[in-house]
Structure 1
């Protein structure tokens, strides 16, 4: 008698499981989007009802319609228009990006050195925490004095606020490397640099992306603070000018744009993490 073994059954079961998991993730994404939209609609309805019932003056809290009109008037213009949001937003984002790259690079570099060399940690860690404990709004005027009322102060503020999250997360991530993996690299006679690049840095990658996630928002905030205190261009200048003429709807429109940009930057970092650090559970 001959017997046959159905070897395709395990593969069929695995494919069905994969399809069910993919379908579940798709449903979860749709539910999350629906809940987000419902939350926004609910907030707008409560906002509109509060303004109408309490008779709040528009110079204190404008209605959603007034904010939308102000937002549309700044967006329904050519990209190179001086009266729109595009040029100020580009100015803010470009300098925030430069400061973010500088602060993130320095934070990763110094955090790695502190994690690798104990004397460096002992010498520099107190200064890093002392710098972080200082209120940035208090030292911002000093940065304006040192760097001027131009774009340099915006880059420095963005880099300063990005630096500490990257420093701490890089340091913690590298120090979290499992001793067994380090012992294995020693047994293979790997150099310190090889161990760092092949074991410690991949282990710290989820921590590093967590620092990037915080740092990208902090960089935007630092740029806005510098623009508030002294700048000629940027979305912070637009907010200051709108406040000067009591255009509260324009202020709210600018804040809506900043909120949307912040969410977009956060999603960009998470998307990049999902592609690069595919073994991480933080994006699930």
Structure 2
């Protein structure tokens, strides 16, 4: 039996990209199907079950509320653009501060046992505190301006990144560490070349949660007192029993959550191209 030379063998590499495209397409179709089912159930509950509008407004009422806030100038105080920008700005700053501290302290605790024993109990104690209960205290400390929003946002984003960074750095295989010691690598070189790449999928899993928590923390702080922001929009709509307006603001926040999650996942696919999560 004659066989083809290795150089003439049919290429197999394109199979993987095609499979990934099929998986992405099937995932998109399932997401679209879930959206259609959700809207259909919502429509049926309003029309056939006669759910009152003050409990569940009709989908078309929410669309009208969305359109009234989006079909305006981006600089108009009557639209959603300025409040959304204010919330996203504070959430982004809180996210950067919280995740930066989380990675830094997680790395210190993973590298130095003494630091772990000193800080880890207090990190868990801080996480166990109900954030809604301590939010008024943070507002007292930082005021009703952007400071309190950034502080609560950073606080919510801090813990998942801290724990994931610590777990990822501590889970490096001993064989890799032994290899770096045999090569006389410094502690910093071992951290940068072995530990941090290994921990990258764990860190991005923490970032995926933290980016949504940061936005949530900003909204919670805006409920307690602010001049602008999506939390203020929701509070004002509740004050006049504009349930459709509340739903419209929630739809925008949900869309922002999906967008932020997608951005983190895209960044992960670019950075952690060697990991299991990035290959899916």
TM-score (norm 2): 0.96
Work out which of the residue numbers 218, 221, 230 in structure 1 matches 2:225. 230
2:62 matched to which residue of 1?
Answer: 67
SS in 2 for 1:54: coil
Alignment counterpart, residue 86 of structure 1, candidates 63, 81, 88: 81
Query: In the TM superposition, what is the alpha-carbon distance from 1:22 to its structure 2 partner?
Result: 2.0
1:206 aligned to 197, 201, 204, which one? 201
Pairwise CA distance, 1:4: 10
Residue 56 of structure 1 is aligned with which of 51, 64, 68?
A: 51
Match status 1:275 vs 2:247: no
Which of 188, 191, 199 is the equivalent residue of 1:193? Answer: 188
Q: Which moved more, 1:263-272 or 1:46-55?
A: 46-55
Find the counterpart in structure 1 of residue 13 from structure 2: 18
Deviations 1:152-197 (A, max 9, x none): 0000000000110011001000001111111111111111111111
- Aligned match of 2:5: 6
Query: Taking structure 1 as reference, are residues 51 and 182 closer, same or farther at Cα in structure 2, changes over 3 Å only?
Result: same
Indicate the residue corresponding to 2:144 in structure 1: 149
The separation in 2 between residues aligned to 1:95 and 1:252, in whole angstroms, is 22
Q: 2:168 aligns with which of 173, 192, 198?
A: 173
For 2:260 and 2:242, locate their aligned partners in 1 and report how far apart those are by CA, in whole Å: 27
Structure 1 residue 241: Cα displacement: 0.3
Q: Does 1:158 align with 2:180?
A: no
Residue 129 of structure 1: aligned partner: 124
CA distance in 1, matches of 2:98, 2:5: 58
Matched, 1:184 2:179: yes
Instruction: Please give the alpha-carbon distance, in whole angstroms, between the structure 2 residues aligned to 1:52 and 1:4.
Output: 68
Q: Residues 4, 109 of structure 1: CA spacing in aligned structure 2 closer, same or farther, 3 A cutoff?
A: closer
Return 5+ residue gaps in structure 1 as ranges. none
Distance in 2 of aligned mates of 1:227 and 1:92: 8
Write the deviation string for residues 213-252 of structure 1: whole angstroms up to 9, x where unpaired: 0100000000000000111110010000000000000000
CA shift for structure 1 position 20:
2.5
Following TM superposition, by how much is the alpha carbon of 1:6 offset from its aligned partner in structure 2, in angstroms? Answer: 2.8
Q: Cα RMSD (Å) of the superposition?
A: 1.3
Structure 2: gaps (5+ residues) = none
